[in-house]
Amino acid sequence: MNKILIAGNWKMNKTVPESLELIHALKEKLRSPCAAEVVLIPPFTSLHSAAEDLRGSDIQLGAQNLSHLGSGAVTGEVSGTMLISAGCKYVLVGHSERRTLFHESDALIHQKLKTALSEGLHPIFCVGESGEERDAGKTKDIINNQLTVGLNGLTLMEMRKITIAYEPVWAIGTGKNAKPEQAQEIHEVIRSRLASLYDPELAQGTRIIYGGSVNPENSSSLLSQSDVDGALVGGASLDADSFYAIINAIK
């Protein structure tokens, strides 16, 4: 069984002092060994301070984005090497808000995955369909295409560093979430696609987590599904009590 991963994506929230306050509260609650691997994903401005404060703890650090380029005259971008130096292990790639608000294509996301891997990061690769695509019955086609293009040419060794996050676009920040059986169905689709692209062993060994309005009330039922290996938490990760309740929902 894959170790559960619970990642908190803070998005464009929390100043540096606010980030440290939240980290202190979480560290107090997570003093005993945790059944999950916990990852905090604050804004870029808080990464260095967060890394210093997390030193010696079991909590990992991630970034919300990276450039597909390694370095150079690319004003406003942040490279994977910079993220590593700031203390990051993980990085989100292909989050639905990057796809929709910033029009990141599957091809660009593929380049970001390759860059993240080449620079030593562990990508959390996000896939998901819009409400219109779901209503049109295109969910499986959309997911399979995102996986096929995004993972094109990656080796088995590279794939072992990747976590897949299924985050239906219609559930991000809307208060709606996929029912547990809906999440399980799409996680099965993802695992099946990984088996066809690589092999069944790789598919079973890849963590597939769910993101989309995860909260303390629905986390237990979502995490009890056989193919749900964790959660990518948005708004509920901004409160220590709520985030801890989700972590504590692991059976």
- Sorted by where each starts, the structural domains of the chain and their CATH numbers stand as 5-247 (3.20.20.70)
**Mind listing the pLDDT tens digit for each residue in 16-50?**
999 999 999 999 999 878 889 999 999 999 999 99
Can you tell me the mean pLDDT for 144-149?
A: 98
Give me the residue label for tokens 């990852």.
39
Which pLDDT score, from 0 to 100, does residue 31 have? 81
CA distance 110 to 151: 7
- 37 backbone φψ class: left, alpha, beta (φ>0; ψ -120 to 50): beta
Residues 6+ positions from 32 with CB-CB distance below 8 Å: none
Q: Which long-range contacts (CB under 8 A, 24 or more apart) does 103-107 make?
A: 106/145, 106/146, 106/149, 106/150, 107/149
191, 204 contact by CB (below 8 A): yes
230, 36 contact by CB (below 8 A): yes
**Mind listing the pLDDT tens digit for each residue in 107-118?**
999 999 999 999
Please list the active-site residues: 95, 167
Three-state SS at 231: strand
